[in-house]
C-alpha cells in the first residue's frame, strides 16, 4: 500500500480533519493517508508573519514524524503534501526530504496550467502578493492571469459554507469575465469540496486545491528528492529535539 503524509502547517484540528477526509476520498483506499498538524504557530495562515512561522512548523512536524519512524521502524511515506494553499516551507522541505514533496498551490498551478491561463480565487486579502511571489518562484508567472481575494479568510468562509458558495461562485465568474482565463483555482485547505458546488455556475474548470494536491502528490515530481535519507544540513540551536536530531553534528 502506498502512503501519503499530509502536513497541515497551521494548528487547526478542524482543517486537518477536512484535509484527511478529502485527500483520502480523492486517492482511494489503495493509499494510506496520514495527516499531521503543526505543533505551534497560527490557527490560520493569513499574513507574512504566520506564513513564516508555518514554514518552521512544517519542518518541525515533519522531523517529528521522521523520528517516530526511526523509534518504531516503519516505511517512509511515498510522498509529502503540504496542506496549505501557499506551500510554506516547500523548498526547505523538498531539500531535506528523501521523498517527493508538493503543496496545494504548486499542485493547483500544475493542474490549472493544463487548461491554459488561469486565475486564483481565495480568501484573505494579504494572500495576493504572497501567492504572486510563489507563482513566480515556481515558474508560473506567465500563466497566472491574476489573483482575486475575497474579504473573508478561508477559515471564515469554511464556517459559513452556504454564503461562501455564493460569494466564491460570483468571484469565479468575475475573474473569467475580467481576465478571459481557461481555468480558476479555488484555493485554500478550508475550501476543500467547494469547487464542485461552484462549478455549475462557472463556464471554465474550477480547480479544488485540495483535490489537485491529492491527485498530484503521488505522481512523479518535477524536482526529484535530493537525498536518500531525511536530514538538514544545519547544526541547529534552540529548535525541537526532533529537528536537532536530523541536523548535522556540531563541531567540537
- pLDDT at residue number 119: 98
Which fold does the domain 114-208 belong to in CATH?
Rossmann fold (3.40.50)
Average confidence (pLDDT) over 144-148: 97
For the domain made up of 2-103+217-245, the CATH class stated in words is alpha beta
**pLDDT tens readout for residues 184-199:** 999 999 899 999 999 9
Backbone angles phi, psi at 236, to 5 degrees: -70, 155
Residue whose C-alpha cell is 500544475? 110
**pLDDT tens readout for residues 127-142:** 999 999 999 999 999 9
- pLDDT at residue number 251: 42
81 in Cβ contact with 20 (< 8 Å)? no
Domain with CATH 3.40.50.12500 in the chain: 2-103+217-245, 114-208
**pLDDT tens readout for residues 42-58:** 999 989 999 999 999 99
Closest to 8 measured CA to CA, from 50, 53, 57: 57
Closest to 192 measured CA to CA, from 10, 26, 12: 26
Q: Which H/E stretch holds residue 159? A: helix 154-159
Q: Tell me the three cell numbers of residue 30.
A: 489503495
- pLDDT at residue number 220: 57
- pLDDT at residue number 252: 36
pTM of the full predicted structure? 0.94
Residue whose C-alpha cell is 475550501? 191
Amino acid at each position: 500500500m502506498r502512503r501519503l503524509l499530509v502536513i497541515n502547517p497551521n494548528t487547526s484540528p478542524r482543517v486537518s480533519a477536512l484535509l484527511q477526509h478529502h485527500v483520502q476520498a480523492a486517492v482511494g483506499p489503495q493509499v494510506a493517508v496520514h495527516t499531521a498538524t503543526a505543533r505551534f504557530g497560527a490557527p490560520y495562515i493569513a499574513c507574512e508573519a504566520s506564513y513564516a512561522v508555518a514554514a518552521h512548523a512544517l519542518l518541525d512536524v515533519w522531523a517529528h514524524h521522521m523520528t517516530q519512524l526511526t523509534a518504531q521502524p516503519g516505511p517512509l511515506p511515498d510522498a509529502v503534501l503540504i496542506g496549505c494553499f501557499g506551500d510554506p516551507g516547500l523548498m526547505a522541505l523538498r531539500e531535506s526530504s528523501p521523498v517527493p514533496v508538493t503543496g496545494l498551490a504548486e499542485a493547483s498551478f500544475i493542474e490549472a496550467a493544463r487548461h491554459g491561463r488561469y486565475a486564483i480565487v481565495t480568501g484573505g486579502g494579504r494572500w495576493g502578493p504572497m501567492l504572486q511571489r510563489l507563482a513566480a518562484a515556481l515558474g508560473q508567472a506567465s500563466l497566472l492571469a491574476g489573483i482575486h481575494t475575497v474579504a473573508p479568510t478561508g477559515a471564515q468562509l469554511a464556517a459559513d459554507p452556504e454564503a461562501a458558495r455564493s460569494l466564491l461562485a460570483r468571484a469565479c465568474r468575475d475573474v473569467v469575465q475580467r481576465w478571459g482565463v481557461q481555468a480558476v483555482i479555488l484555493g485554500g485547505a478550508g475550501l476543500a469540496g467547494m469547487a464542485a458546488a461552484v462549478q455549475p455556475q462557472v463556464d471554465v474548470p474550477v480547480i479544488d486545491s485540495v483535490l489537485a494536491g491529492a491527485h498530484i502528490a503521488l505522481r512523479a515530481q518535477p524536482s526529484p528528492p535530493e537525498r536518500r535519507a531525511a536530514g538538514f544540513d544545519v547544526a541547529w540551536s534552540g529548535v525541537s529535539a526532533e529537528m536537532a536530531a536530523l541536523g548535522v553534528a556540531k563541531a567540537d
